[in-house]
A = this chain, B = another copy of it.
Amino acid sequence: MNDFTSSVADAKIPDATVRRFSLYLRYLEDFERSGISSVASGVLAERGGTTAAQVRKDLSFLGSFGKRGLGYSVKELTGVLRDVLGLDSVWRVALLGAGRIGTALFRYEPFRARGFHITTVIDNDPGKVGTRLGDVMIRGEHELECALREDRTDLVIVAVPAPVAQALVDRVVAAGVRAVLNYAPAQLRLPDDVALRNVSMTVELESLSHALTRLRRCR
């Protein structure tokens, strides 16, 4: 762990920790903008809704470069987190589905700001194919493989209806893409060496609804 050769840890980092890294980074960027140069675990914890011990444990996966008595250098920590999250590369993203969700995702600026460039948009509606979404031409489903290769796509965002999703993703994987962000309400099956994250619009809402119901019943 006390690896001084490079900034990035090689060991497996728990998923929960990686997700918190995203949050920490957000706060650190705020701090950087405010001109704060150093930050203690307790401060980050308060901002992120966890505990100081949690923050320190998380950061310890990256090596130990905090200064005892002082905290962490905002600048250094920002750099390390960007590095470990892979935010220094530009990732080439293909968006499958230019419906409501797809369009909203396409227009969501923070993606681009973080280095995720949507260079391909695919939709199977003939009325949409050939039109533009922002600066990207919408291409038909049959051009999928071709488009992925041409644009050297790293990552695919799935925003098509559930029934179509699996078939499309199979083709995407066959074309060599190794990361999928799935917004379709379907459980996708993929090989182990492909990274998958599911985002379900309804799951969070329903978990809230469950919490509300419990609150109601208690009083």
| A contact residues vs B (CB 8 Å cutoff) | 8, 10, 13, 15, 18-19, 21-23, 25-27, 47-49, 84-87, 89, 91, 100-101, 103-105, 107-108, 110-111, 114-116, 154-155, 178-181, 185, 187, 189, 193, 195, 197, 199-213, 215, 217
A9 → B minimal CB distance (Å)? 10
Please name 12 pairs of A and B residues whose Cβ atoms are closer than 8 Å in the assembled complex, sorted by A.
A21-B206, A85-B209, A86-B209, A87-B206, A87-B209, A100-B107, A101-B104, A101-B108, A110-B202, A114-B206, A193-B215, A197-B205
- Number of copies of this protein chain within its complex: 2
Q: Which residues of B contact A185 (CB under 8 A)?
A: 26, 110
Q: Are B114 and A202 in contact (CB under 8 A)?
A: yes
Q: Are A22 and B200 in contact (CB under 8 A)?
A: yes
Q: Closest 8 CB pairs between A and B? A: A86-B213, A104-B104, A195-B211, A86-B209, A22-B203, A22-B206, A197-B204, A179-B212
